[in-house]
Amino acid sequence: MSGITHIWRDSSRILPVLATLVAASALTPAKAQTVVVPTTVPQTQILVAPSAPPPPQVEVVPAAPSTTVLWRPGQWMWNGATWAWQPGEYVTRPQPTAVWVPGQWQPASNGGYSWVEGHWQ
């Protein structure tokens, strides 16, 4: 017991060593802290608007620049304060037969509207 008492009495030598060990362990990630995010799962942001969006704007669709693209129509997006129109654009198909399913605003249980992201099918 006197050895343990001696270590604690002479903590001026042990504290710097302990501090170094704790700092080193904080900088070295443990395997349990590793998070792997699959790249095939898209990151999703939940958007909620207090009211339904205005009717879609009429867009003039320009001629397609190539046969590998598809027109993705414009949509209303909630920016946190008001509705903002996001114009349509041509996007490259991930596969030749892919079809774009547009995003849409759906009524939410809280009385607002939730955005459901568009996707390829």
How does pLDDT run across 24-58, given as a tens digit for each residue?
A: 444 444 333 333 333 344 445 577 899 999 999 99
Number of domains the chain is built from: 2
Q: DSSP state, 96?
A: T
Alpha carbon distance 118, 72 (integer Å): 9
The answer to whether residue 40 sits within a structural domain is: no
In the chain, the amino acid numbered 33 is Q
**Do 58 and 83 fall within a single domain?**
yes
Confidence of residue 110 (pLDDT cuts 50, 70, 90): confident
| 105 burial level (CB within 10 Å; 0-12, 13-18, 19+) | buried
Alpha carbon distance 43, 32 (integer Å): 23
Contacts of 88 (CB under 8 A, 6+ apart): 59, 61, 71, 72, 73, 74
| Residue span of the structural domain in which 24 resides | 2-33
The model carries a pTM of 0.58
Please state the rounded mean pLDDT for residues 68-83.
Answer: 94
